[in-house]
Amino acid sequence: MTSDRPTTLLAELTHRCPLHCPYCSNPLELIRADAELSTDDWKRVFTQARELGVLQLGLSGGEPLVRKDLEELAAHARGIGLYSTLVTSGLGLTRKRAEALRDAGLEHIQVSIQDSDTESAERIAGVSSVKQKRAAIGLVKELGFAFSINVVLHRANLDRIGELIDLAGGLGADRLELANTQYYGWGLKNRAALMPTRDQVLKAREIAEAAIERYRKKMQIIFVLPDYHEQFPKACYGGWGKLYIVVAPNGQALPCHAANSITSLSFPTVREHSLEWIWQESPGFQAFRGDAWMKEPCRTCPRKAVDFGGCRCQAFALTGDATNADPVCTLTPFRRIIDEALAESAESGVYEYRVLSGEPQRA
Amino acid sequence: MALTSDFVPRLWRLARLEFDAVRQRPVLLYPEGAVLLNDTGAAVLELVDGKRTVGEIARVLGERYQTDVTADVTEYLSGLAERELIQ
């Protein structure tokens, strides 16, 4: 083996979704239903992933429940020994489908919650969804799935982090992921409306840290500071092409969900190549392995073994060159880009909603 | 914080011990995570049954390896407890 074995496959089964969240991690150019992989394609990809060493499978989207073959895919994944998580909005999870997923051997369901305040939650999702989410969560609990709640944090809900934590606790979540908005694609487009103030972030951290202790052994709480507010960049997915593979709805295989935004690289699809070839040989996956690609200050920095120079997608999006240091890092002159964004953050409260076709809608 | 020798460790109810045929290694699988285990780690976890104490697990393994492994076993399980994989 010339590279590490991957542990995780995120299968973006579709980009179709009933929600329009303005921080969606899907790319701006959403893939249409007629370009999606078939059931057999996905099964082949899962099998190849397991043979390559993948242990964890995320059945994600868009909204994966839009795919009528989700149960069949979940059963295949369980049959070959993958641990599967369904990453869902909850919309479309009927009793019949929930039972079929349980019977297929799906183990873990992660449901997104937009806010603890109903009006705000529906404004963020751009659609009425709270009632349907509660019904879905009731089924997840009743049928005994391992259950996580995921909340994307930003300016409009960060002050309610305490309420969000207690809501998740009350709903019986085993895990709560408090994920700060990442500014790629839709998130970057909406950055000025999403970016919290430093004061909000520090208060939220205090509340989260106290809650982590309070909920110990009842609910696992994951809270990571937003990278814009940190001194050093995040070690994105443990390094480029090291642990993680994303397969987009059209079969394009990527080292992370935003990698396609780096237009200087190209990524092959699982229609043309095996996942093994893509992982081992494809130029896109090899591009930022190791440290030969690094420029200063990364090249001679002792932190390169810790954060691998940070996020390549962020470096490309904000500096125009994916081999630059992640501008979050205070050791690079590009840091001023982040500081300017932080200073501008309070300007707008208007979202540009995620839509699959036509012109973007405004709130 | 180190676990005491009379503590009865239990695997997190959402975690399960599996064997990864690709890597030929035991692995602990749980929501959004996987820990690959070495033989020693697997030997410890195979004895975690919700009945044995840390001290008893160390005694069983100590007899097997003919050496005192109390410190190693305590450290290993305490590390997993810190990550809430052992409760």
The complex's ipTM works out to 0.85
CB contact under 8 A, B32 and A53: no
Scanning A72-91 for CB atoms below 8 A from B yields 81, 83, 85
Chain A CA closest to residue B24:
A53
Nearest CA in chain A to B84: A217
CA A248 from centroid of its chain's CA atoms: 13
Q: A177: nearest CA in chain B?
A: B32
pLDDT digits (tens, 9 = 90+) for A313-328: 999 999 999 999 999 9
The DSSP code sequence of B22-75 is TTTEEEEEETTEEEE--HHHHHHHHT-SSSS-HHHHHHHHHHHHTS--HHHHHH
Query: A54 and A10 in contact (C-beta within 8 Å)?
Result: no
Judging contacts by C-beta atoms under 8 Å, the chain B residues touching residue A108 are: 14, 31-32
Q: Is the pLDDT of residue A350 over 80?
A: no
Can you spell out the DSSP letters for A2-14?
-SPPP-EEEEE--
Q: Is 90 exceeded by the pLDDT of residue A344? A: no
Sign of CA dihedral A295, A184, B32, A45: negative
Distance (Å, rounded) from C-alpha B42 to C-alpha B80? 12
Distance CA A244, CA A257 (A): 10
Quote the pLDDT of residue A320. 95
pLDDT in tens, A255-273: 999 999 999 999 999 999 9
pLDDT at A237: 84
Q: B33 and A52 in contact by Cβ < 8 A? A: no
User: What pLDDT was estimated at residue A198?
Assistant: 86
pLDDT score at B58: 96
Whether residues A146 and B20 touch (CB distance < 8 A) is answered with no
Q: Does B31 contact A108 at a Cβ distance shorter than 8 Å?
A: yes
- Cα A287 to Cα A284, A292, B30, B35, B76: the distances in Å are 5, 10, 31, 27, 37
Q: Is B6 on the interface with A (CB under 8 A)?
A: no
Q: With an 8 Å Cβ cutoff, are B22 and A217 in contact?
A: no
Mean pLDDT (whole number) for A33-43: 97
- Chain A (162-181) residues lying within 8 Å, Cβ to Cβ, of chain B: 174-175
Residue A7 contacts B where some CB pair is shorter than 8 Å:
yes
* B14 has a chain A CB within 8 A of its CB: yes
pLDDT digits (tens, 9 = 90+) for A74-122: 999 999 999 999 999 999 999 999 999 999 999 999 999 999 999 999 9
Q: Name the residue in chain A with its Cα closest to that of B18.
A: A81
Contact B22 A5 (CB under 8 A): yes
Identify the band that residue A347 occupies on the pLDDT scale cut at 50, 70 and 90.
Answer: low
Residue A359 clears pLDDT 60, i.e. is over it: no
pLDDT digit string (tens) for A279-322? 999 999 999 999 999 999 999 999 999 999 999 999 999 999 99
Q: Do B32 and A56 touch (CB under 8 A)?
A: yes
Helix residue ranges, H only, A112-197: 118-125, 130-142, 161-170, 185-189, 191-194
Q: Give the separation between CA A35 and CA A252, rounded to whole angstroms.
A: 11
**pLDDT-based confidence at A349, cuts 50/70/90?**
low
Give me the residue from B23, B31, B87 closest to A53, CB to CB. Answer: B23
Using a CB-CB cut-off of 8 Å, the residues of chain A touching B87 are: 217
pLDDT at A37 (0 to 100) = 98
Contacts of A110 in chain B (CB under 8 A): 31-32
Given a cut of 50, the residues of chain B with pLDDT beneath it are none
Distance from C-alpha of A279 to C-alpha of B11, rounded to nearest angstrom: 33
Q: What is the mean pLDDT of chain A?
A: 93
CB contact under 8 A, A220 and B87: no
Confidence of residue A343 (pLDDT cuts 50, 70, 90): confident
Tell me what pLDDT residue A3 has: 63
B75 interfacial to chain A (CB closer than 8 Å) = no
Q: Do A56 and B29 touch (CB under 8 A)?
A: yes
Q: With a cut of 70, say whether residue A57 has pLDDT above it.
A: yes
Average pLDDT over residues A245-264: 95
- What are the phi and psi torsion angles at B16 (to 5°)? -140, 150
